[in-house]
């Protein structure tokens, strides 16, 4: 075992490694799995185990075989726990991913494939992405625009707001709020950097609330956090701490 601190579930392999450790020379600390956190820890362990196992399946029919195994596991849970609702989690044999559901009634779009492309973030909805503000890779600006256009609720927590940053997102913010999206902004008077024109622009948007902290005695934190919520349950958050340019 490598010396250091851990937060690792004790598996058969870990137990074997611990048995080889000289207890007279090494301090070992273990604790009982708490019942409140058991489901979270065990599910993460199973997810990793299943992912590693499914990687072994190769060949032309690999996807079909992976789905077959996944459905067997789901059916086992249904039978073991006697919960019929698990059958609703069975994966379709067509092996498809749902990407969008749009109403065609009174729609401003005729090309829905183009609409989907315009509003879908490149980083996807089920994974995280690190933005560094550099010239290589995805730009924060383009991702923010797509996140706004595809969200139902947007929360912004920013130290200060500059008009030159807000105006970049003008079209997206207007389209978002005019179709009923809810925008909430919390900001401060950090170093007097916020532009009144930017605050004025935001306050005139429909379905928008802007709150400003005027506590000038504690202005040391320079951070940005963006939370994008969708009624499809997919939530994306972007945290920027002394990383991004001071646009928002």
pLDDT of 242 over the 60 cut:
no
**pLDDT for position 11:** 95
List, for residues 170-183, the tens digit of each pLDDT value.
999 999 999 999 99
Q: What structural domains does the chain harbor?
A: 12-89 (no CATH), 112-241 (3.30.870)
Percent of the chain with pLDDT over 90: 56
Q: What pLDDT digit, counting tens, does each position of 208-241 carry?
A: 999 988 776 665 556 678 888 888 876 666 654 4
Burial of 59 by CB count in 10 Å (0-12 exposed, 13-18 middle, 19+ buried)?
exposed
Predicted pLDDT of residue 65: 95
Q: Nearest 5 degrees, angle CA 136-CA 140-CA 145?
A: 135
- pLDDT tens-digit series, residues 81-134: 999 999 999 999 998 988 898 888 888 888 999 999 998 888 777 766 666 555
Tell me: pLDDT of 80 over 70.
yes
């Amino acid at each position: 075992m490598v010396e250091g601190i851990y937060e690792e579930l004790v598996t058969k392999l870990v137990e074997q490694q611990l048995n080889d450790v000289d207890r007279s020379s090494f301090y070992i600390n273990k604790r009982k799995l708490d019942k409140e956190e058991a489901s979270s820890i065990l599910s993460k362990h199973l997810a990793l185990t299943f992912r590693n196992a499914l990687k072994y399946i190769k060949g032309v029919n690999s996807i079909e075989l992976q789905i077959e195994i996944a459905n067997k596991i789901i059916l086992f849970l249904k039978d073991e726990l006697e919960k019929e609702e698990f059958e609703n989690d069975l994966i379709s044999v067509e092996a498809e991913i749902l990407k969008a559901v749009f109403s065609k009634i009174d729609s401003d779009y005729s090309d829905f494939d183009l609409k989907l492309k315009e509003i879908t973030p490149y980083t996807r909805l089920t994974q995280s992405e690190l933005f560094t503000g550099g010239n290589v890779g995805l730009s924060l600006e383009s991702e923010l625009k797509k996140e706004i256009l595809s969200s139902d609720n947007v929360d912004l927590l920013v130290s200060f707001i500059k008009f030159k940053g807000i105006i970049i997102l003008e079209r997206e913010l207007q389209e978002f709020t005019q179709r009923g999206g809810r925008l909430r902004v919390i900001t401060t008077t950090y170093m007097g950097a916020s532009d009144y024109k930017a605050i004025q622009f935001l306050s005139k948007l429909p379905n928008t609330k802007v709150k400003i902290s005027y506590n000038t005695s504690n202005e040391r934190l320079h951070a940005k956090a963006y939370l994008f919520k969708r009624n499809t349950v997919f939530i994306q958050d972007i945290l920027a701490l002394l990383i991004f340019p001071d646009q928002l």
